[in-house]
Structure 1
Amino acid sequence: MTLLPDYQWITSEQLPRTHIIVIGRRGDNGEGSKTDILLYASDILPKHCCFSRHNDTRSTILRPSQSAMVTRNGEVLRKEVELSPGDVIGLGQRYLFLFKDPSAVTHKVTWTYPEYLGLCSLCRHYAQCHLTVNYERELEDRIVKEIIVTGTSNSKDIPAMTAAFLLCVCVQYSAVHFNISDLRRLLLLIASGVQSTMWVSHSENDLRRCSNLRELQPLSLEELISGLRPLVMWMSNSLELLYFIQHQLPLILDWRTRKEQGQDDEEREDEENSEEEKLARSLFTSVTITSLPLSHQVLYPILPGLLDCNPFRDNAEQHTPGLAARVLGSGRLRVPGEARRVLEVLTETRQLLQDCQLHLEISSQLLAYLFYFINASLFNTLMERGSEAGFYHWSRGVCIRANLDLLLDWALGAGPGLGQMALEYTHTLSSAVNLLATPRENLLQTSWASLRSDYPALSPAQLNHLLSLYSPASPCPHTWAPSAQEQAAAHRTAEILESFDTHHPLVLPGGGYQLQLRRAVTDSALRKQLDRLKEFISTLSDSNSIGDTTNGKPQVEKRKRETLLFSLFIILR
């Protein structure tokens, strides 16, 4: 909406005492006789709203029609309201009217601006938005450090998005008031500060892990969550920063260019934007790389238990809280302690991602990555333990299949799309387990060619490894003998184990971000943190002013002493 240079005026004298004034657009059939005031914008309804004045109370009522865009002092109206002199009435996106009552003594306009991040959706004017800061360029270093320290805090009173929100406010202020070179310096400052904080957290986790290794103790779940929290929190904030710089910052720079009437070189601005995007993307990548490996340290020592535990035994632990319990119901299948511990790691990790407000799509991809790790780790352990006498047996295959289903059932209810990704990432493990869980009578009747067709996820080497160590062995070894074409491939032992390096890279979401221009910020805790930052900036400004005064005082005193000495010299002469 473009604000008109001068308000249109509606006075109470225009409202007949016994009639209702209807404002609207001429209908498609050309009928407009029932509309008292015609407007011509496309977003005005044929009967958009009406004004009525009551003789007894001399009050004027504004009644919006259903689905009509009507505002009073910036507030959208859904029901009739009584007008006061000086009220600003908005109709659609193109009309503003100022209500006057000649019988009133004073006329006071009370316009309320919604609190938005960035350019206001009503006025398109940056300076009128409440969610902004005002600081000198020289204070940026200390401001960014303060924001990063605040964002790293584990206090429950500080929202997860505090750092991204405050840094975005600083970025948009720099984009509007400072030079482009200053904006790039700010982005570099932010990237350097966040990366330094991440490396400190990562080093602390390494020290904790080394300490546990010396004591021969695995990393506990509590230590995992404690170590992951700052990394996930900064991943969440960095993702919001990345989107803001890539998609929101160009809007601010475009607004600034139009405001300055195209004096800047657009081509150069595009180059600057490209550099800023690269900087933000590298920031998110570095945070992601340091975050992924931590969960493996907890999962790795407890996953092998899924190959040995029996979910059908009577003394198994009854039920695990949450989704797995609802899936199992009251049947004979129980959740063994080994499976429960894996589910606890998955559940606590998922809860952490939610607490840190990480984007839902990224959360699903990270949880899917855990299933990718589970697949490779468990499959390799399964292959290595095949040399144990009688390990590849039908009964063991059935138990492993039941335990794996517990994890996949959890994934189906943990988030949108996660179930399908978990099935995809555990396909190789599922194929091997399904083969072992096949009744021996059926397996003995199946040829090598049929097995290759039924289990395409298994390589010839992996399939041959499972069949050659299957217990009890086949009485007809030639039934499972590899075909002549695959003899060489079936005996390549280097291809038996799964690699940990074939995971798909994270795909950045195209939408669903929290910090966007012209979107109202409703979290009062975020606004509270902004107020606290403003107080911090005010303190810095005051201390700088005092410092300037103090620094200038010795010079003044020196000049006074010189003047006094010169006067004494004149008198003595």
Structure 2
Amino acid sequence: MVKSLPGKMTMGQTLTHHTSLLFPSPSLTGINSQTRRQQSRRSRAASGGHVAPKERADNLSLRRSISEMNLSTKRRKDRKGVLSMAAGEPAEGSPSEESRLKAAEDAEGRSAPPASEEEAVDVTSLEQLTQCLIQPPSEHPYFLQLLGYNEKQEFVIHVMTRRRHIFGRPERRQASDQSSYVDTFLSAPDILPRHCCVVSSVPPADPSQPRGSAMVRPFRGASITHNGAPLHRQVELAPGDLLGMGQHFLFMYKDPRATAAPPAWLPKAWVSPGLVGALACQACGRSLQERQEAFRAYLKSREPQLRYRPQEQEALLAEIVRLQEAPGCKLGPAFLFGLCLEHAARELEPGHLPRLIARIAQLVKEAVWEKIKEIGDRQSENQQDKGESRNLSVEEVAADLRPLMLWMANSMELLNLVQKRVLDIEKDLDLEGVSHNALLSSDLETCDEAMAVLDEVIMSTFQQSVYYLTKTLYSALPALLDSNPFTATADLFHVPEISSMPEGIRGTLAIYQATLELTRDCDLHPDLVSQTFGYLFFFSNASLFNTLMERGSSQSLFLWAKAVQIRTNLDLVLDWLQGVGLGDIAAEFFRKLSTTANLLCVPKTSLLQASWSRLRNDYPALTPAQLQHVLSNYQLGPGRVPPDSWQPPEKERDEIAHSDIFESFTDHPPLILPCDGFRLRLSEPVSDDTLHRQLVRLRRFLWELERESLPANQRAAYGLDPSQ
């Protein structure tokens, strides 16, 4: 007969006590040991236990549901450190679990006489039982483990002791490597070193206000499910939600501080990225009429949304590229490409977005290269047909350049949309750490390469545009130096139409006007418009100035009367540019030519009285070599030579003799891409009717592709006709 120690209960007595609390039974007084042992076995079986030691160990998970209130007060106090172990960090200064268990075993060994094999097994089972019966915290969020990889050796409750809680696989790391910190270790083959991050909300200052939920985000490459649906990006985690990690672990998130809410652990319906899953699925419970109405509403909606499946992506991107040639579309390709990026970032797996960005950039580059080749071939053919002596009209050049200007505008807007997505990836990389996620680093490299392609497209379209425009300007500019604006047909007192301007400047102004209309018609970014005209004005100034310096002495251009005509023509051009909003840019780039004209317009008597030092101070835009060339070739009259006061000092003459008097065309301003002022807003409804029609057409196009991929016997089952 087994004797029990005073104040202690054996395993059988403890479980009998549990059963008596749940199912009251007659007193056991007077029952002999044999009967009491048999009744204890039956009670253990009713509570989930069994007589056999092996089965008791196997059914350990069932005993985890027994309430801790049935343990003796002394036993609970002996195990008060278990809760801190469940949190992953033992309390400071407290003995380890191993030392506590050893002390408990030594105490029992000293106070109890030798027991039977059955009682020894019961004591061991009780030790295991007390480790599993842990009361959840009341002031911290925690995760209740429902499934695990090796459940006999894993904790059931994982407490969030920090605001940010990281799950990961144990690995060897340096103690100083804070980026590798993991709060809860999960030992399974498919768990990453840093698998998942949960950030709890900060409790509001006012206790009466509702508490926010936590946010959960997987690290790149981690297999995560949220309420049964695959999780690819950060989402809200509410109390009661189910969080699966890998193929083995399943947790329920709990927050005892939060207000009780209806259960949220039921898996929600997963929506396919295509139209069938989103609108036409018969399993959603909607009737045929409701599904048809939802489909028609989506087709006509002005919301910036474009749903598609990955298998239709290539056909969709090719269709968007072709839209660039549609009249009135303007920024349509960039907008629709942006909707594709939004859909991929929201619905598809994270690794799909960088590949999509790279593919879009490549398609844009191929389209632009084809247009550049077409323009080059066509201009060569036109010049051969019309003869080399005749240049193409500005209208013909503008028509050829329109596709390039459109792609420049679209590429600039698209680059801005891509940069926003890349910033999101960089934020993820900063959080996860470069050393822990090679996938994110690879994604950033892919995006950087794609952005470099878009940069190249913008640069190439800009260079080709200004090349053909300056080529047209080259033949029109000399008339500004040679023509006389003081004619009877010219209106010099107002800023008139180009047709009433002096004939010598009509060609130049016509090119400026055609360029301005082209940039506005293509919705080119204002900064790119300014830089386009900045380059044209730079070329115009350098070309006119070099012509003036080259022909000044031989064609009597360094003469007061001729200088007045040049000054007047230049003033008419600058006044017209001021009227269209380009006056400041023009004044900056025409400074060299304007300064030279001002010098030549000084009356001869006043100019003869000026000294070299005074002229250098009054006309600083001219280099010493350029000033000396103008003065030495100034036409004072027959037999008159320049005065000695115009001669530069002896120390400057050697430098002047070896200096170039012409302006270099290679010193043009660099192209600087804008950082703000973009037109596209993907968060606002589509207000442009032309763009909305293109969006509806693409939605119908995708629906037809999706329907064609279905078996013939299923196409009619959806009952949706996109033509209705």
Assess same fold via TM > 0.5: yes
In structure 2, relative to structure 1, the CA distance for the partners of 1:213 and 1:528 (3 Å cut) is closer
- Residue by residue over 1:132-189, the C-alpha shift from the partner in whole angstroms, topping out at 9 and shown as x without a partner, is 2222223222211111111133x2xx32111111111111112223344432222222
Q: Is 1:151 aligned to residue 319 of structure 2? A: no
- Residue by residue over 1:24-61, the C-alpha shift from the partner in whole angstroms, topping out at 9 and shown as x without a partner, is xxxxxxxxxxxxxxx999xxxxxxxxxxxxxxxxxxxx
In structure 2, relative to structure 1, the CA distance for the partners of 1:179 and 1:483 (3 Å cut) is farther
Q: Is 1:195 aligned to residue 369 of structure 2? A: no
| Deviation, structure 1 residue 249 | 6.0
Q: Do the aligned partners of 1:371 and 1:426 also contact (CA within 8 Å) in 2?
A: yes
Q: Is 1:446 aligned to residue 610 of structure 2? A: yes
Q: Residue in 1 aligned with 2:473?
A: 299
What is the one-letter code of the residue matched to 1:501?
T
Q: Residue in 1 aligned with 2:240?
A: none
| Deviation, structure 1 residue 531 | 0.8
Q: Is 1:233 aligned to residue 406 of structure 2? A: yes
Q: Residue in 1 aligned with 2:503?
A: 337
| Deviation, structure 1 residue 405 | 1.3
Q: Is 1:206 aligned to residue 376 of structure 2? A: yes
Q: Is 1:533 aligned to residue 702 of structure 2? A: no
Residue correspondence of structure 1 range 59-138 to structure 2 within 5 A: 130-138=303-311
Q: Is 1:402 aligned to residue 568 of structure 2? A: yes
Q: Do the aligned partners of 2:563 and 2:601 also contact (CA within 8 Å) in 1?
A: yes
CA distance in 2, matches of 1:304, 1:318: 21
Equivalent in 220, 224, 230 of residue 397 of structure 2: 224
CA distance in 1, matches of 2:610, 2:331: 57
Larger radius of gyration between Structure 1 and Structure 2: 2
What is the one-letter code of the residue matched to 2:456?
S
Residue correspondence of structure 1 range 105-504 to structure 2 within 5 A: 130-153=303-326, 155=327, 158-214=328-384, 215=387, 216-247=389-420, 250=423, 274-314=448-488, 316-318=489-491, 324-325=495-496, 335-415=501-581, 418-472=582-636, 475-492=641-658, 495-504=660-669
Q: Residue in 1 aligned with 2:72?
A: none
Is the partner of 1:529 in helix, strand or coil? Answer: helix
| Deviation, structure 1 residue 240 | 0.7
What is the one-letter code of the residue matched to 1:192?
Q
| Deviation, structure 1 residue 242 | 1.0
What is the one-letter code of the residue matched to 2:707?
D
Q: Do the aligned partners of 2:357 and 2:447 also contact (CA within 8 Å) in 1?
A: no
In structure 2, relative to structure 1, the CA distance for the partners of 1:274 and 1:199 (3 Å cut) is closer
Q: Do the aligned partners of 1:144 and 1:190 also contact (CA within 8 Å) in 2?
A: yes
- Residue by residue over 1:310-340, the C-alpha shift from the partner in whole angstroms, topping out at 9 and shown as x without a partner, is 11122x44489xx831899xxxxx7211212
What is the one-letter code of the residue matched to 2:532?
L
CA distance in 1, matches of 2:626, 2:602: 17
Q: Do the aligned partners of 1:198 and 1:290 also contact (CA within 8 Å) in 2?
A: no
Q: What is the aligned-residue RMSD (CA, Å)?
A: 3.4
- Residue by residue over 1:453-504, the C-alpha shift from the partner in whole angstroms, topping out at 9 and shown as x without a partner, is 11111112211221222112554432221221211232236x1111112122
CA distance in 1, matches of 2:419, 2:447: 8
What is the one-letter code of the residue matched to 2:552?
G
- Residue by residue over 1:233-252, the C-alpha shift from the partner in whole angstroms, topping out at 9 and shown as x without a partner, is 11111111111111356459
Is the partner of 1:325 in helix, strand or coil? Answer: coil
CA distance in 2, matches of 1:291, 1:355: 15
Which runs of 5 or more structure 2 residues have no equivalent in the other structure? Answer: 1-207, 211-300, 715-724
- Residue by residue over 1:8-38, the C-alpha shift from the partner in whole angstroms, topping out at 9 and shown as x without a partner, is xxxxxxxxxxxxxxxxxxxxxxxxxxxxxxx
Q: Do the aligned partners of 1:172 and 1:252 also contact (CA within 8 Å) in 2?
A: no
In structure 2, relative to structure 1, the CA distance for the partners of 1:387 and 1:291 (3 Å cut) is same
Q: Residue in 2 aligned with 1:15?
A: none
CA distance in 2, matches of 1:303, 1:242: 36
Q: Do the aligned partners of 2:335 and 2:682 also contact (CA within 8 Å) in 1?
A: no
Q: Do the aligned partners of 2:495 and 2:575 also contact (CA within 8 Å) in 1?
A: yes
CA distance in 1, matches of 2:713, 2:589: 63
Q: Do the aligned partners of 1:392 and 1:471 also contact (CA within 8 Å) in 2?
A: yes
In structure 2, relative to structure 1, the CA distance for the partners of 1:537 and 1:327 (3 Å cut) is closer
CA distance in 1, matches of 2:470, 2:454: 27
Q: Do the aligned partners of 1:386 and 1:392 also contact (CA within 8 Å) in 2?
A: yes
- Residue by residue over 1:227-268, the C-alpha shift from the partner in whole angstroms, topping out at 9 and shown as x without a partner, is 11111111111111111111356459979999xxx9997766
Q: Which has the higher contact order (CA 8 A, sep 6+)?
A: 1
Q: Do the aligned partners of 2:610 and 2:645 also contact (CA within 8 Å) in 1?
A: yes
Q: Do the aligned partners of 2:498 and 2:509 also contact (CA within 8 Å) in 1?
A: no
Q: Residue in 1 aligned with 2:94?
A: none
CA distance in 1, matches of 2:408, 2:498: 32
Which runs of 5 or more structure 1 residues have no equivalent in the other structure? Answer: 1-38, 42-127, 329-333, 550-573
Q: What percent of counterpart residues are identical?
A: 36
Q: Do the aligned partners of 2:302 and 2:685 also contact (CA within 8 Å) in 1?
A: no
In structure 2, relative to structure 1, the CA distance for the partners of 1:389 and 1:230 (3 Å cut) is closer
CA distance in 2, matches of 1:376, 1:548: 72
CA distance in 1, matches of 2:491, 2:382: 31
In structure 2, relative to structure 1, the CA distance for the partners of 1:327 and 1:352 (3 Å cut) is closer
Is the partner of 1:293 in helix, strand or coil? Answer: helix
Q: TM-score, normalised by structure 2?
A: 0.52
CA distance in 2, matches of 1:230, 1:165: 17
Q: Do the aligned partners of 1:159 and 1:526 also contact (CA within 8 Å) in 2?
A: yes
In structure 2, relative to structure 1, the CA distance for the partners of 1:422 and 1:524 (3 Å cut) is same
Q: Residue in 1 aligned with 2:296?
A: none
What is the one-letter code of the residue matched to 2:363?
G
What is the one-letter code of the residue matched to 1:246?
Q
Q: Residue in 1 aligned with 2:36?
A: none
| Deviation, structure 1 residue 398 | 1.0
Is the partner of 1:160 in helix, strand or coil? Answer: coil
Q: Do the aligned partners of 2:303 and 2:686 also contact (CA within 8 Å) in 1?
A: no
CA distance in 2, matches of 1:141, 1:169: 15
Q: Residue in 2 aligned with 1:123?
A: none
What is the one-letter code of the residue matched to 1:148?
V
- Residue by residue over 1:356-399, the C-alpha shift from the partner in whole angstroms, topping out at 9 and shown as x without a partner, is 11122221221122111110111111111124142311111111
- Residue by residue over 1:287-310, the C-alpha shift from the partner in whole angstroms, topping out at 9 and shown as x without a partner, is 323322121121110100000111
In structure 2, relative to structure 1, the CA distance for the partners of 1:137 and 1:395 (3 Å cut) is same
